[in-house]
Structure formats: structure tokens, C-alpha cells
Structure 1
Amino acid sequence: MQEAMERAFPPDNVWGKPPDIVQGDSVKGLADAAVRIDQTYTTAMQHHNAIEPHGTIAVWSGDFLTLYEPTTWVYGIRNAVAEWLQMPREKIRVIQQFVGGSFGYKGPAWTHVVLAAIAARQVNRPVKLVLTRRQEFAGVGYRPLIQHHIQLGATSTGQLTALTHHAIARTSTFDNRVVAPVERTSRKIYACPNVTTTYRLAPSNLSGPYTMRGPGETPGLFAIESAMDELAYALQIDPIELRLRNYADVDPETGDPWSSKSLKECYRQGAERFGWHRRNPQPGSMRNGDRLIGWGMATMAYDARFSGTTASAQLFADGNVLVQSSTCDPGTGVYTQTDSRSAHYIRQATLTYSPELGTSKE
């Protein structure tokens, strides 16, 4: 990692934002602070590796390709394969009935998907391609190793005066995509007048990384919350109280109101149910028999992002309704309906072929 960091470079953008964002004057905010935290945290590379490995079935009928693919993004698969094979999207149909383990890596069209299509065309027979366990580690992405340099400045009463988050993430030598925007939440989670975030990519001889559950929020918040925990200890302020003193009632980055935010209530209920008032902050002070007991807390946040979608609905004379959409059920109950007949209709939605559209209906 150290050698890769020496070659680190800024990406073109971080999910639509510049790699370096400066709000206020963090240098002055740190200089004016009564207490400062300056720490580097490293979050490890992580692999998805569900029990069920990736697998694809490819079937050609003339120049029309059908792919049976456990994916959370049927139209993304269709569009990517169409580009790779240089064929019209209308000539590709993706059938997804159940996803299996997902957690981020069942979204894109990986290499084995297009290889299955090429092989099926070559032998003129349906081809099923299933990755081995070893191939799961190299061919379907991972959460990259990330180094976080965090600096916090605060007054003696715990108000943040500065926050910086400098992230360096490992990537392949042929890719400059950011799959884990770890510094994004650091700009939004606390009300701080001076915030600086930067992002760099460290090229390494690895396959490309990809998004994982909580793409950047999970490793990013581990770092910033670890620093906040150390700041609370340095100030001798309760960790929950420190967060309340820096609570962001509006989006600190834009000034816009939140669409919804119940974090204060989470703090209150969590502390009440856990019995937080019984916590002794001194290390080694709490025991259960011969075991040392540590009580800690941290904040987790994830922003709600939306995109457009369409669906078609048919109302039949017998009163039944058929709704068709390219949705999928990754195990969260999307297909669950009030009765088995309507559930059957919903499940069939992703399998319905429309001759006028040449593909499953959106």
C-alpha cells in the first residue's frame, strides 16, 4: 500500500463531486482549536463472497440473447452486454427471478456474463457459467483498502472548529472510478464551519473494486467516528453529548433542510434502552466477574438517493391487476403480497416478454 500511495492521484470526480472540497478555513479552525485530534485509520479490503457463487445462463435464439442472471439491476446488465457485444439493446432480455447473496456485487455485468454469451453463440447451445470460490475473490469486485487521515479541532466545550478527512483508496491500474465515497458523509454528519475533504486513488496490481453494502459510508464513518470517540475522551465529554453539541439540524454542505432525520431520537432511545447512564468512561473500570466490559457508541448515517422509474399496469375484467416492472427481490420482501395469486403476478413481472418493446417491460 505504501508504494501504491506514492503513485496516488485524484479521480475525475467522486460520485459527481470534485475530489477536493473545502468549506471555510480548516487550517485556521485547527489552529484556533483548544483540543485537536490527528489520527490515521485504515479500513481493510473486504470481499462479498455469498454462499451462492455468481452464475449466468446464456441462450441464443437467432440473433436474440436471453440471459438468466441473479442481479439487482436487470437493465444495467442488458445495457452493458449490448455495448460489449455491439448489438441492439432490444435484442437482449435479462431474466432475474431470485438474487441470492447480493450486498452490492450482484448489480453490474461482470466478465463472466459476457463470456457466457460469447460461448453460447460459439457452440450454438445454452451455456451455464458458474464461478469457482477462488474466482469469487478476483472477478466480482471488493471493498478496497482505504487509509483515512482525520483531523478534528474543537473548543474546550466541545464545539467543532475544524474537520478534515483525507482518504486514499486502493484501485486497479486500469481504473479510476470511485466505488467508496468515504469522505462524503463526513461533510454532512456534524455542524462544523470549517471542513476539508480530499480523495485519492492508489493504483495496484489488483482487479477492480466495486461497491459493497454502505459503499463509502461504512468505512468512512468508522474513521470519523473513531476520531470523535477520541475527541470525547480528550475533552472528558460524554460521547453522546459531544455529538448532540455538534448536531446538524440542516445539511452543513448545502444549508438545505433534511427530508427526514431522527438521529436525536435514536440517541435518546438508544441511551435509554442500553442504560447508558450506568457507563463509567474510565478504561478498565467496568467488569462482569473476571471480564472487563467496554461500552461505546457511534453514529451511522446513510443518505436516501432516488432515481426515476416506470411501470405498466393492466386491469382485467375479473378484477385482477397485473403490474409489470423490472424490480428484483434481494431478500427484502419486494415480491411479498397479500395472497399467493398476486405474488405470482409480481414474480412474473420480470419474466414477461413484450413483443412491441422487444424486452421485459419497465
Structure 2
Amino acid sequence: MARYDVVIIGGAIVGSSVAFYLREEGFAGSIALVERDPQFTHSATTLSCASIRQQFSIPENIRLSQFTLGLFRRLKQEFGVDADIAFHEKGYLILASEEGLPVLKANHEVQAAEGADILLEDAETLSRRFSWLSAEGIVAGAWGRSGEGWFDAHALLMLFRKALRAKHIDFITASVTGIGRDGAKITGVSLDNGERLAAGLVVNAAGPNAGRVAALAGLALPVEPRKRSVFVFEARDKFSDMPLLVDPSGIYVRPEGSVYITGGAEPEDTDGPADPADFDPAWPLFEETIWPVLATRIPAFEAIKPTRAWAGHYDYNTLDQNAVIGPHPEVKNFLFANGFSGHGLQQAPAVGKALAELIVHGGYRTVDASAFGYERIAANRAFRELNVI
């Protein structure tokens, strides 16, 4: 039986970030990175819309994304002169109706206090700024003038994975089927290939499967997979100034090269845990709900041609749609990095840095993630993020 000082369950962007920053912080112990899908075919990382924003409702989420933005700014210094994730810094444009205006304003105040470059503008100003936009039913919008946009998720993941190969990390392709626990201490993990790894510390970075992984250790975690469909369409008109636009309905759209991608507005009454094998896009959602909204908000999109679609699962925290980060208060050698509810990719480097500092130095230094601790889960006390996209 092999023994590791740290076993990380989940090798996509969150798990890889934890491993990377452990070495960056000087951790010399043995590390195993366990990933069941090494091609990341069904990974939440690679199936996401790969965007970064500072338009959150709480300061702690803004700070996590700001750390990642800083990484993007120094990408070549961190990963070499050829490092490129095709970052398109064109911002988010989050629109609000009269009903949603108080929340938009309150969020903007929080963002401004954190130094985010977000403009809050009325409908008339937005219509002048973006000639393609219809302000019907809109009273205002918040636009990220800088520090927001989208990028290549696979490229970012591969930068981390490639860097790890020089940092003496053991990559293990397997699913975790069991977690050994002796009272208040995790002792190891069992794999579907019959192996068992003794572990000094276990990090749960299992994405949409995080709730199941926690349950293997006898721990409750309100995180489940939720399916999200993304649709690709062609349009005659190309708008080079288009940000990632979020309609008050929750439907979003943004450019992707010569095409556009869109999604959102899953019905609440049917939005439950995803079937682990269901990666079929929900085409009726596009035809019946999304397309009519796009045509209203951007009149040029009345005539578009849908071309393809995909579906992914993300790790949805049913308590408050916020991350769970840090150790279990009783089983202290089991750490969480879960429940990001759609913003895990953009916050993964910050979470990796935070947990690495916690493990190596005994506390958070660069990024304080204490607000996301498991204690609120145990107390059923929501720390709610209002701006979930």
C-alpha cells in the first residue's frame, strides 16, 4: 500500500491548483493527484463557459477572482513565455429591470469598494454604448470595463498540469470508491483499481461529485451535480464590442470566435441533481426559452442558426451557492474545495493558493478563505452569493 502525505481527489483545475501551489509554498512531502477522467471529457473545467468576473455580491468572491486575474496578468512569468489562454478582456454586462435594480446597485457598491472596474449605467447610456442592444424592459446595467472576460479553459488547465510534471506529483488514474476513517482522522482512500493509498491528509476537489466523495468519509456536504446546456449559434452580424451579456432572465450570450454561445434560465422546478451519465444538451430550452429572449434583447439575433451544443455538470451548493473551502472542524485532515456553483474555474487558482498556505503555514496569508469554511455547513447557516450565473 502506497502512502502519501497529501491525496487530492480530483485532478482538474481545482485539484491541480492545490497541488501546484503546495509545491510553490515549499511543501516537500509526497502528493498524489487522483483523477478518474484524465482526458477531462466530462470535466466541469473543460465543459464550462470559461469566464472570469468581479461582479459578485460579496467581497470574498470578488477577492478570489481578483487573485486569478492577477495570475492572468503574469501568466508568462508563472508558466513560461509561450503561455497563452486566449484571454478576451471584454467584460460582463449584467442587465437589470426595475425590480432587479436595488440588487444591482447594492452589488455594484460592494464591487467598487473592492476596486473592481465596473461601470453602473442607465439604459439610455447603455443603448448609446452598445448600438446592437435593445433596452426594452431594462433600467440599468453593470459593465466590467476591465478585469472581466473569457478564456480557454483547457489551455489554463494544461498549463497547470504541465507545470506539475516537473514538481514530483504522482498522477493516478482511478475513481475513489472508499475513504478510510478512524474516528476524527482520515487514514486513506480506496480506488476502483483495487489499490489503497494511505494518506496524511485528503483534499476533496471532486467537482460535481464532491458530495458523494464527502459521504464516503461519512461527512455531509450539500453539493450535487447540476446539468447546464451551452448552445452555439451563427449570426450574420458580428459585434466586436460585445461583452458577456446577462439578461435579467438569467440567459447569457457572448461571442466565441466567429460564432456565439448562449445558455442559462434552467427552470427552477425541474433543476435538480443531474444523472451522472446525462450529458445531452436540452435543445427545447434553447428553442422555447433562450432564442426568444435573445431576439428581444439583441434584435439582430432574430435570425440565427443554431449549430451545436454541449452539456456539462457543475458542483451546485444547495445551501447557498457558494464555495466550501478548508478543513472539516472535527475531521481536520479532510479538506474541502467544493461547491463553487458555476464559478469554480475562475476561482480555482485562488483556492489552490489558499489551501496550500493553510497546509504549509497553518493559516491563510494571501487569500483569506475563512468565510467559506465548513462550519456554516454544519450550522446550516447560509453565506449566500446573490449573483449566480
Larger radius of gyration, structure 1 or 2? Answer: 1
Structure with greater helix share of residues: 2
Is TM > 0.5 for Structure 1 vs Structure 2?
no
State the TM bucket, normalised to the shorter chain.
Answer: under 0.3
The structure richer in strand per residue is: 2
Q: Which has the higher contact order (CA 8 A, sep 6+)?
A: 2
TM-score, structure 2 as length reference: 0.22
TM-score (norm 1): 0.23
